[in-house]
Structure 1
Amino acid sequence: MPRPRRNPALPVFVGTTVLAFAAVVLAAFLLPDRVPTHFGGSGAADDWSSRAGALTFLSLLTAGMTALFAGLAWWMPRVGWEWVNLPAKQRWAELGLQDEVRRRLRTDVLWTGSAMSLFEIAVTSAVVDAARSGTDRLPGWALVAFVVWLVVFVGYAASTPLRYRPPAG
């Protein structure tokens, strides 16, 4: 009997989520009392918050995104077929592969959740860097990190038709 395939997306999701929470905990020790929390197009801060306010926001953002994607990952194997929308949906059903589609959807949710955790780590790190820089400006790496994250994320989304091509048969 073949072993079931392991899904690498789950440990990556758990790992990136733990790192996102660790970044917030580390920020609690590194942030000054006054924290830049909003930045204009030039990267300069245009709004500030207290350390407690910034940490509350970062904690709620991280916890909320984690709960959202963990909940969606739990729901995907249980989702009713009528809620699934993908190319060639009828073909997947004719082949009796609805559970395979649900497995792929769960994997996509976990990868997306991991990407969001990485984004949260970058945001937390950028806020800490800006607050500690003395200039209240986003660091130069923040824009590069965002562009790389966006290109990878959009590329993954654009590959959806390839990942959901029904098998021949």
Structure 2
Amino acid sequence: MTTTRSAADDARDLPAEPTAPWILVLAGGVVLLWLGVLAWQVAVLPERVPTHFAADGRADGWSSRNGALAFSALIPLLVVLPMPVLSRLVLWAPGQINAPNKQWWTATGPRLRRFERLMREDLWLITTVTLLLLVAGQVGIVLAARSGGDAMPTWILPVALVVFLVAIGAVMARMFIGGRYAAQPDLD
């Protein structure tokens, strides 16, 4: 009895291509920054913490210290940091991906393995940028809690959002305009 192997079967048997070191250094640095801000929050947050703010920067919603700390720890751990693992879906359900040159990328195991690395790297960049946005919010919450007036500096979130949008735009341009997902001659 013969079995036919799929490109996904072949790809899963190949060793993973390593993530670019600069991406891992960048992601690791932002994770360390997040952990540092989390430690700062543990050290300085009062029992009542402003956690929601009106457009003028004044608090209009509060949480307990433990609630604010849980949000600061759990959202990155449960939602943001697992994002790069989603690239593994490429190896288990390649027919479900929607990407430029899908037919080319899913035709052979080596191509699919490379595609998984490209997706993993892009997801790490998106994760890093998203985590930076959350860290900015955490810093704003600490500053508001320590201000005595429960007001966040009005520049923090607009600046963080602009940085986030520019960085996400750069990642998207790298993915789709820069030819990152074009056919790669070394895999023909």
Output the TM-score relative to the length of structure 2. 0.75
Partner of 1:83: 96
Amino acid at match of 2:183: P
Q: 5+ unaligned residues in a row in structure 1: which ranges? A: none
Are 1:153 and 2:168 counterparts?
A: yes
Are 1:165 and 2:182 counterparts?
A: yes
Distance 1:79 1:136 in 2: 49
Aligned to 2:49, what secondary structure does the other structure show?
Answer: strand
How many residue pairs align between the two structures?
165
Aligned to 1:49, what secondary structure does the other structure show?
Answer: strand
Amino acid at match of 1:87: P
Aligned to 1:126, what secondary structure does the other structure show?
Answer: helix
Aligned to 1:46, what secondary structure does the other structure show?
Answer: strand
Distance 1:28 1:112 in 2: 27
Partner of 1:142: 157
- After superposing the two structures, state which structure 1 stretch, 154-163 or 31-40, moved more: 154-163
Amino acid at match of 1:146: L
Report deviation, 1:121.
1.4
Are 1:115 and 2:132 counterparts?
A: no
Aligned to 2:60, what secondary structure does the other structure show?
Answer: strand
- After superposing the two structures, state which structure 1 stretch, 58-67 or 23-32, moved more: 58-67
Question: Is the 8 Å Cα contact of residues 122 and 171 (structure 2) preserved in structure 1?
Answer: no
Distance 1:55 1:94 in 2: 46
Report deviation, 1:105.
0.4
Q: 1:88 to 1:70 in 2, by over 3 A?
A: closer
Amino acid at match of 1:52: N
CA deviations on 1:72-116 (whole Å, 9 max, x unpaired) are 25x256343213211121133457622211110011111111112
CA deviations on 1:7-64 (whole Å, 9 max, x unpaired) are 1222322332232122112111111222110112222211011212211111111221
Q: 5+ unaligned residues in a row in structure 2: which ranges? A: 1-16
* Identity over aligned pairs, percent: 32
Output the TM-score relative to the length of structure 1. 0.82
